[in-house]
């Protein structure tokens, strides 16, 4: 079966494949086109060819019934306002279909569910899409796609709540490994039924306006390598006490979480640089990162606007001096940096701006803390209840006069340079 390129409208100055097609030459030699052993067209890659029209119901493309791989993706193709043809459903031998960033619009046709051999389906977009999955919905699209391993529907408008789309995917796509649903207008986070898909290694849910709490069950995906949830409208994110591995220091992971107030990644196996960009989140009040293996320097620019109240970064491998930002957090109620590798000299009065501080936990670092002789603890920290300074190389005994609120005072390894 031949494929007639004459019906396509494209920018010849940007084309690297179509512009070289010659009907006097065997089509199996055309760039971007592959044939099987029977000289049947089995693969067609026209991504990035600046095609703007011609992929409609009458195109001979849809007569290539032996096609196994088809790519029309790339932002350079511009099928703006062109409806996604129902004729794609005729290509029933397709295993790979990539229409990403091509600009097709309208409802994704139900005929797409005929592509039962699909392994990869990519209808995603990066910036804008008019594609929708409403009638038929997501369930009717994927119900026959049981071989699917990778599904990309970024910026496709999906009509389903969290439990519905989760149970739909887990019921029909048992082999799914990649799930990308960023900016898909999902109203709620996934339900626990998604846990049936234990082959998932990539989950991207960025930019969805989830209106209910985000569950911690994602830590139970044994093969999960990429978990992306930036730009979400999250009330709490609790992923503590699981088996999470890898790094979370990339700043892009935390963009758009402007409503996040509570973040718990404690007691995991996370490593790499500490994501101090978290401290710039405008609503974050509780940050729990203790019992991981974060390492490296803790240098960070000063940001006095942080609303943080509770910060526990203990039991990691942080190095360098205590970040200056912690001396500026006037809302801070509890700060724990114990059992790290922090070093340098500081004075207790360096924390003088933290007038709400009730708990300060600094033991088992490489710090040297200087205590000013005339500074009374009661005046420096009027609300202080717990002070932990074991192995902090104190050079003075603290002046505890008139301090009635202190419940716990843990001071070990006093080095007295002067007679008291």
3-state secondary structure 373-411: CCCEHHHHCCCCCEEECCCCCECCCCECCCCCCCCEEEC
Hey, how many other C-beta atoms are within 10 angstroms of the C-beta on 24? 4
Two tokens at 338?
């114990």
| More confident call, 326 vs 215 | 326
> Residue 64: what pLDDT?
87
pLDDT digits (tens, 9 = 90+) for 166-188: 889 999 999 999 999 998 888 77
End-to-end Cα, the chain, rounded Å: 98
> Residue 392: what pLDDT?
80
Query: Beta 334-336 vs 310-312: how paired, if at all?
Result: parallel
pLDDT digits (tens, 9 = 90+) for 35-65: 998 889 999 998 887 777 767 776 778 888 8
> Residue 49: what pLDDT?
78
> Residue 405: what pLDDT?
55
Q: Max CA-CA distance within the chain? A: 101
Global pTM? 0.70
**Does 415 have pLDDT greater than 60?**
no
Q: Which residues contact 25 (CB under 8 A, 6 or more apart)?
A: none
Backbone angles phi, psi at 246, to 5 degrees: 100, -165
Peptide bond into 212 cis (omega under 30): no
Contact 113, 140 (CB under 8 A): yes
Q: How confident is the model at residue 420 (pLDDT cuts 50, 70, 90)?
A: very low
Backbone angles phi, psi at 180, to 5 degrees: -125, 110
CA 108-229-159 angle, 5° bins: 30
> Residue 212: what pLDDT?
66
Q: How confident is the model at residue 102 (pLDDT cuts 50, 70, 90)?
A: confident
With H, G, I as helix, E, B as strand and everything else as coil, classify residue 26: coil
Q: How confident is the model at residue 416 (pLDDT cuts 50, 70, 90)?
A: very low
């Amino acid at each position: 079966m031949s494929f007639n390129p004459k019906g396509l409208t494209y920018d010849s100055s940007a084309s690297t494949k179509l512009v070289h097609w010659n009907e006097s030459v065997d089509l199996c030699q055309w760039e971007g086109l592959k044939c099987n052993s029977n000289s049947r067209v089995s693969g067609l890659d026209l991504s990035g060819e600046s095609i703007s029209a011609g992929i409609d119901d009458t195109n001979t493309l849809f007569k290539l019934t032996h096609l196994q791989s088809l790519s029309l993706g790339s932002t350079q193709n511009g099928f703006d306002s062109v409806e996604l043809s129902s004729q794609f459903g005729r290509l029933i031998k397709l295993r790979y279909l990539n229409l990403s960033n091509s600009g097709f619009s309208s409802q994704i046709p139900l005929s797409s569910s005929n592509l039962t051999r699909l392994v990869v389906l990519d209808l995603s977009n990066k910036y804008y899409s008019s594609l929708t999955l409403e009638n038929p919905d997501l369930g009717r699209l994927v119900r026959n796609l049981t071989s699917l391993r990778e599904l990309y529907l970024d910026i496709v408008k999906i009509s389903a709540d969290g439990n519905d789309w989760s149970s739909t995917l887990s019921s029909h796509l048992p082999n799914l490994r990649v799930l990308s649903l960023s900016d898909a207008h999902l109203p709620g986070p996934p339900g626990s039924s998604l846990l049936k898909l234990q082959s998932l290694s990539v989950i991207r849910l960025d930019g969805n306006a989830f209106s209910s709490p985000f569950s911690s069950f994602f830590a139970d995906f044994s093969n999960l390598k990429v978990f992306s949830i930036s730009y979400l409208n999250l009330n709490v994110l609790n992923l503590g006490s699981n088996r999470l591995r890898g790094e979370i220091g990339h700043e892009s992971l935390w963009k758009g979480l402007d409503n996040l107030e509570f973040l718990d990644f404690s007691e995991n196996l996370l490593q790499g640089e500490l994501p101090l960009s978290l401290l710039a989140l405008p609503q974050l009040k509780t940050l729990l990162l203790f019992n991981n293996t974060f390492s490296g320097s803790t240098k960070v620019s000063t940001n006095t606007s942080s609303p943080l109240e509770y910060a526990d970064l203990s039991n990691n491998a942080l190095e360098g001096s205590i970040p200056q930002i912690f001396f500026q957090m006037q809302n801070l109620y509890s700060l724990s940096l114990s059992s790290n590798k922090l070093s340098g000299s500081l004075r207790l009065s360096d924390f003088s701006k933290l007038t709400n501080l009730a708990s300060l936990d600094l033991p088992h670092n490489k710090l040297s803390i200087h205590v000013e002789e005339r500074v009374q603890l009661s005046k420096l920290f009027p609300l202080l209840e717990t002070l932990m300074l074991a192995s902090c190389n104190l050079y003075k005994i603290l002046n505890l006069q008139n301090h009635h609120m202190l419940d716990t005072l843990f001071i070990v390894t006093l080095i007295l340079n002067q007679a008291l």
